[in-house]
Amino acid sequence: MEPTPYRFENSLPDELLQQRQQPRVEDIRGRYFRDTTAIIHCNPFRRLKHKTQVFFSPKNDHICTRIEHVMHVASIAAAVCRGLDLDADLAWAIGLGHDLGHTPFGHVGEHIMADIRKDSGGFVHELYSLRVVDHLIGYGKGLNLTYAVRDGIVSHCGEKFEQSIIPVQEMKDLGALTGRNHLPSTWEGAVVRMADKIAYLGRDLEDALQLKIVKREDVPEEVVANLGAENGVIINTLVSDLIDTSRKSGAVAFSDEKYHAMKVLTEFNYRNIYRNPLLSDYHRYFDRILRSLYDYLEELFDRYRFDEGQYRREKNLLAVRFGDYVCKMRSFYEGEDGGFRNLAVDYVAGMTDDYALECIQEIMLPQKMETQFDQFLLGN
What residues contact 239, with CB distance under 8 A and at least 6 apart? 76, 79, 80, 83, 198
Report the C-alpha gap between 77 and 194 in whole angstroms.
8
Instruction: Judge whether residue 62 has pLDDT over 80.
Output: no
pLDDT value at residue 313? 92
Share of the chain above pLDDT 70, in %: 94
What digits encode the pLDDT tens for the residues 26-49? 999 999 999 999 999 999 999 999
What percent of the chain has pLDDT above 90? Answer: 82
DSSP string across 215-282: -GGGS-HHHHHHT-SSHHHHHHHHHHHHHHHHHHHSSEE--HHHHHHHHHHHHHHIIIIIT-HHHHTT
Could you give the CA distance from residue 339 to residue 97 in angstroms, rounded to a whole number? 26
> Which of 75-79, 182-186, 201-205, 305-309 comes out lowest in average pLDDT?
201-205
pLDDT for the residue 308: 94
Q: What is the pLDDT of residues 134-192, one digit of tens each?
A: 999 999 999 999 999 999 999 998 678 899 999 998 999 999 999 898 999 999 999 99
Left, alpha or beta for 250 (phi > 0: left; psi -120 to 50: alpha)?
left
pLDDT for 373 = 52
Distances (CA, A) of 199 to 157, 189, 205, 216, 264: 13, 15, 11, 19, 16
Residue among 23, 328, 281, 53 at smallest CA distance from 146: 23
Instruction: Give bridge partners of residue 52 from the DSSP assignment.
Output: 65
pLDDT for 365 equals 78
Tell me the average pLDDT across 324-351. Answer: 97
Sorted by sequence, the CB contacts under 8 Å of residue 58 that are 6+ apart come out as 65
DSSP per-residue codes, 167-214: ---S---GGG--SS----SSHHHHHHHHHHHHHHHHHHHHHHHHTTSS
Statement: residue 379 has pLDDT above 70: no
Distance of CA 12 to the CA centre of its chain: 26
Assign 372 a pLDDT band (cuts: 50, 70, 90): low
The pLDDT, as a whole number, for residue 96 is 98
- In the chain, the amino acid numbered 379 is G
In this prediction, residue 54 has a pLDDT band, given cuts at 50, 70 and 90, of confident
* Cβ neighbourhood burial of 20 (10 Å; 0-12, 13-18, 19+): middle
Tens of pLDDT, residue by residue over 305-316, are 999 999 999 989
pLDDT of residue 119: 87
The answer to whether residues 199 and 80 touch, using CB atoms and an 8 Å cutoff, is no
Are 69 and 53 within 8 A, CB to CB? yes
**Which one-letter amino acid corresponds to residue 336?**
E
Please report the pLDDT score of residue 252 as a whole number: 98
With both helix axes pointing from N to C terminus, report the angle between 231-249 and 66-83 in degrees, rounded to the nearest 10.
40
Give dist(CA 73, CA 28) in Å, integer. Answer: 25
Residue 56 is predicted with a pLDDT of 76
Average pLDDT over residues 349-371: 84
What angle is formed at CA 267 by the lines to CA 261 and CA 271, rounded to 5 degrees?
Answer: 145
d(CA 66, CA 78): 18
* Prediction pTM value: 0.94
Tally the C-alpha atoms within 13 A of residue 184's C-alpha that lie toward its C-beta: 33
Which SS3 state, helix, strand or coil, does residue 305 take?
coil
Residue 228 has pLDDT above 60, yes or no: yes
Residue 191 to residue 169: CA distance in whole angstroms: 14
The pLDDT assigned to 1 comes to: 42
pLDDT score of 369 more than 60:
no
**265 touches 223 (CB < 8 A):** yes
pLDDT digit string, tens, across residues 256-266:
999 999 999 99
How far is 143 from 294, CA to CA, in rounded Å? 26
Contact assessment for residue 193 and residue 158, using Cβ atoms and an 8 Å cutoff: yes
Backbone angles phi, psi at 80, to 5 degrees: -65, -40
| Rounded Cα distance, 336 and 152, in Å | 23
Indicate the helix (H) or strand (E) that contains 346: helix 343-349
Spatial contact of 269 and 204, defined as CB atoms under 8 Å apart:
yes
Predicted local confidence at residue 343, as pLDDT: 97
